[in-house]
Structure 1
């Protein structure tokens, strides 16, 4: 279980997160929903270690946890970014295997075999040799998820996973997230879409902008 205790974060004197505490149970889906400016993405970036908090603590399975500790051999948190961040000059399989080879030090064959399993799981195995410009938005989204999964995270975070997609693809993304839950991975989803949030969530956190005096 991941616990956040009294997390506070400010930018330029403006408080974005104020003494926030929450628990995310293992193998569950937490949806964090709220309007722009409510601190959803900041919260996700703090959980992923992309931002450091001003105060507060993280507890993972009853032990103190520093998301920003890059020396950890385990990849605890993975992130699927809003704009996918795929490398345009690399094929799908190359996008997925790059980080495991460079960071986890997997050899090329091992990384490729693991990537192929993930691609099949996400119904992308026929697109392994395609390039990002050849993919639809929904396909890019699934490749971004596959790339994050290849790092074997315990927790997978999504930043607005439906915002760059046609509304008709919302249910498809929900299905992917719900299917991943069956594999035992914990997921945290940032969204401005309350209907989508409720569709996938075991736990729902509504955040609102903080009025700074």
Structure 2
């Protein structure tokens, strides 16, 4: 279980998160919804260690956890970014394999086995030699999910997973997230779409802009 205790974060004197307390249960899906400026993405970036909190603490599995600690964060929290952030000069296979090779120092045979399993799980096997420019938005997103999962994180975060996609793909994205829940991974989803949030969530957090 991930616990957030009194998390506070400000930018340029403006408080974005103010003494936020939250619990995310293992193998659950938390949807965080709210309008622009409410702090959704800031919260996700703090959980993922991309922004350092001003005060408060994180507890993971009953032990203190610092998402900003480079030695542990990539193995605990994975992020699927809104614009996917795929490397354009690398194939699907190479995009997914890069981090396990570079960060986890896994041998080539282990990486290839794990990546092939992930690509099969996400319906990407036939695309493994293609490059990002050859993929649809939905395919890029699944590659981004595979790349995050390749680091074997305990928690997978999504920043607006439907915003860059055709509305018709919303249910497909929801099904991918729900299918991943069966593997035991905890997921946190930032979205402006309340219907999508309710469709996938075990837990719903609504955030509103603070009055500074």
TM range (shorter): over 0.9
- Residue 87 of structure 2 is matched in structure 1 by 87
Q: Give the TM-score taking structure 1 as reference length.
A: 0.98
Deviation at 1:19, TM superposition (A): 0.5
- Residue 64 of structure 2 is matched in structure 1 by 64
- Residue 163 of structure 1 is matched in structure 2 by 163
Q: Give the TM-score taking structure 2 as reference length.
A: 0.99
Structure 2 SS opposite 1:27: coil
Q: Cα RMSD (Å) of the superposition?
A: 0.9
> 2:189 and 2:73 mapped to 1: Cα distance?
25
- Residue 77 of structure 1 is matched in structure 2 by 77
- Residue 45 of structure 1 is matched in structure 2 by 45
Deviation at 1:72, TM superposition (A): 2.7
| Deviation beyond 6 Å, 4+ runs, structure 1 | none
Structure 2 SS opposite 1:41: helix
> 1:160 and 1:48 mapped to 2: Cα distance?
15
Structure 1 SS opposite 2:156: strand
- Residue 25 of structure 1 is matched in structure 2 by 25
- Residue 208 of structure 2 is matched in structure 1 by 208
| Unmatched segments (≥5 aa) in structure 1 | none
Deviation at 1:199, TM superposition (A): 0.2
- Conserved in 1, the CA contact under 8 Å of 2:174 and 2:196? yes
Structure 2 SS opposite 1:75: helix
Deviation at 1:108, TM superposition (A): 1.6
| Unmatched segments (≥5 aa) in structure 2 | none
Deviation at 1:110, TM superposition (A): 1.2
Q: In the TM superposition, what are the counterparts of 1:173-192 in structure 2 within 5 Å?
A: 173-192=173-192
Greater Cα offset, 105-114 or 165-174: 105-114
Is the aligned partner of 1:152 residue 2:152? yes
- Conserved in 1, the CA contact under 8 Å of 2:30 and 2:203? yes
Deviations 1:167-188 (A, max 9, x none): 0000000000000000000000
Structure 1 residues 74 and 195: CA distance shift in structure 2, 3 A: closer
